[in-house]
Amino acid sequence: MTMTRLRFMALAASLSLGVALAAGGLPQSAAAAADRAVKIGLILPITGPFASTGAEELAGVKQYMADHGKTVAGRTIELVVKDDTGSPNETKRIAQELVTSGGVNVLMGFGLTPLAFATAPIATQAKVPMVVTAAATSSVTEKSPYIVRTSFVTPQGAYTMGDWAAKNGMKSAVTLVTDYAPGIEEQDWFVKAFETGGGKVVEQLKVPLKNPDFAPFLQRVADDKPDAVFVFVPAGVGAQFMKQFRERGLDKSGIRLIGTGDIVDDQFLNSMGDVALGVVTARDYTAAHDSEINRKFVKAFEAANDGMRPNFMAVGGYDGMALVYHALEKTKGDASGPKLIEAMKGLSWESPRGPISIDPKTRDIVQNIYINKVEKKDGQLYSVTMDTVKAVKDPAKAAK
């Protein structure tokens, strides 16, 4: 055997040891466990077109740590925050680095579906739990047995909204969605529910993800004159949509604006103005959610973030941390990937959004979906809950 080959084998051995350590795969004594931090690699779009998602998610994660301390089951929690700028190649590259030289025990974040898709193989390979706190396409959790989701699943809201619209006097609708995985899924599940309930979808419009101009699509909606237009855009884009909706006079056209909560994103709702009044959406969270836990959460969050209101992304991040804390309590501080992921299955707790749980079969979130209507309360715009559908599982997985 040549020296080069020997050297190569030594290097390979030290590399695989590095991976085992990173995944927490070595047995540890209780004392060693207490010393060693549990590292969470939080990858978010902190800059770029989806920076509003990164800001809400990061603030949600930090709020959980502020509320519950930085130690759980004798282990210190260490957060490593990385900006992927919303680019899938970056998310994947950062995740790879974090599970090898970064030594993280958990990957967290994933602000958009393509970012979660790109990273899933790394979680599988490294046996590191990947807590998805934003990306919402149903199939995300099927991309790796190490993925758990604490945000929402697009069909939860889209199906609930389609059903509600059909039962509340709307007979015709146009769908207008952002043209990528969660948008297409929103469209399909809205259509399914609305048409099952007797409604008719007369046109299905798709708007590009990058630099969207809604004007030509809104003109089509105006020409079609449906009873309702069902809209999906990713978080942060709702304000721009609303501006163009008003500029084209659609708010005075008699066409009802409905959608999932993304279009009335709480971070921007107040700045949208009266065009948002009366808009009905389905979502797992509204900042106006009427519970003691939520009132405390909103107050602390706004105080810590210059008045920024928490939206559904913030609770996704908050509960991503809750999931890790609860799982560590269950494993008594053992952060090895396979133990943590097992511990996460079936957990349930009360979130600022209400009761939530992790379906042990699908590793996806089960939660209430609220039908909310935008109203003015003390001069501020809020999505106020009119109706609640309890403990909704992902309808797309239930249909399989």
Enumerate binding residues for ligand DHB (CB under 6 A).
53, 112-113, 134-137, 182, 234-235, 262
CB of 78 to ligand DHB, least distance (A): 27
- Alpha helices in the chain, H assignment, sequence order: 3-22, 30-35, 51-68, 88-99, 113-126, 154-167, 181-196, 215-224, 238-247, 269-272, 292-304, 312-330, 337-344, 395-398
Cβ proximity to ligand DHB, 67 vs 180, nearer residue: 180
- Look at residues 3, 97, 121 and name the one whose alpha carbon lies nearest to residue 11: 3
Tokens 């309360």, residue? 377
CB of 238 to ligand DHB, least distance (A): 9
Cβ proximity to ligand DHB, 281 vs 336, nearer residue: 281
CB of 132 to ligand DHB, least distance (A): 9
Cβ proximity to ligand DHB, 33 vs 134, nearer residue: 134
CA distance 395 to 253: 33
Q: What is the DSSP letter of 308?
A: P
Whether 64 contacts 48, CB under 8 Å: no
Query: Exposed, middle or buried, 243 (CB in 10 Å: 0-12/13-18/19+)?
Result: middle
CA distance 345 to 394: 15
CB of 136 to ligand DHB, least distance (A): 4
Q: Which residues contact 154 (CB under 8 A, 6 or more apart)?
A: 136, 137, 138, 182, 185, 186, 189, 232, 260
CB of 139 to ligand DHB, least distance (A): 11
Q: How far is CA 347 from CA 171, 194, 324, 344, in A?
A: 40, 33, 10, 6
CB of 311 to ligand DHB, least distance (A): 9
Cβ proximity to ligand DHB, 135 vs 176, nearer residue: 135
CA distance 334 to 188: 41
CB of 352 to ligand DHB, least distance (A): 17
Cβ proximity to ligand DHB, 199 vs 316, nearer residue: 316
Cβ proximity to ligand DHB, 234 vs 333, nearer residue: 234
Q: How far is CA 274 from CA 243, 249, 359, in A?
A: 11, 13, 39
Cβ proximity to ligand DHB, 115 vs 170, nearer residue: 115
CB of 1 to ligand DHB, least distance (A): 50
Cβ proximity to ligand DHB, 117 vs 325, nearer residue: 117
Q: In this structure, how many other beta carbons lie within 10 angstroms of the beta carbon of residue 193?
A: 22
